[in-house]
Amino acid sequence: MRNNELLSGISDLLDQKLQPLQDRLQHVEDELQIVKDSVQHVEDELHIVKNELHIVKGELQTVKSELQIVKGELQTVKDELQTVKDELQTVKDELQTVKDELQVVKDNQHQMKLYQENIIMPQLNNITSCYTSTYDRYRLYSDKMEAVFADVDLLKKTVSAHSEKLQKLA
């Protein structure tokens, strides 16, 4: 055997022994490529997620700004509500004052009604009865008054005539 044949035999033997290693290495390289592809896919998705996160971050900033505006408006509404509450309390106080004054007026009215019922009405009834009785008397004697006037005229004429006669005699 010659060196070339020996070398060729060793080379064949090494090729046979190395073939499983090459197959395994090829398998590892294939799997490494799959892993690389997966890593690239994850990196691509991570880039997409980063972009989306950036968009969400911008939107979140917008929402924060709008929320700050809403907070300001809410504070304004709270302040206005407090003002309305204060004004309402003032109105309630004034209404209570009016109610108290109205009660005083009602009490006075009640006292006036009692005074009217117990003092004024009996006196008015007394005055009415006096005037009524006087009226009735005058009404009953009104037709007699004409006769009295006629009698007074006659009496005047008689007294005048008698006075003239007495003066002539004297």
Question: Which residue in the block uniquely carries the two structure tokens 């939107």?
Answer: 59
Which are the contacts of 1, defined by CB distance < 8 A and separation ≥ 6?
Answer: 9
SS3 content of the chain, % helix, strand, coil (to 5): 100, 0, 0
pTM: 0.44
Question: Digits of tens for pLDDT over the chain (170 positions)?
Answer: 688 888 888 888 888 888 888 889 899 999 999 999 999 999 999 999 999 999 999 999 999 999 999 999 999 999 999 999 999 999 999 999 999 999 999 999 999 999 999 999 999 999 999 889 888 888 777 778 888 888 999 999 999 999 999 898 87
DSSP 73-106: HHHHHHHHHHHHHHHHHHHHHHHHHHHHHHHHHH
Question: Which residue in the block uniquely carries the two structure tokens 């509450």?
Answer: 85
- What pLDDT is attached to residue 1? 60
> CA-CA distance, 116 to 138, in Å (whole number)?
30
> CA-CA distance, 5 to 25, in Å (whole number)?
28
- What pLDDT is attached to residue 13? 83
b/e burial code for range 13-22 (CB count within 10 A of at least 16 → b)? eeeeeeeeee
- What pLDDT is attached to residue 104? 97
- What pLDDT is attached to residue 18? 82
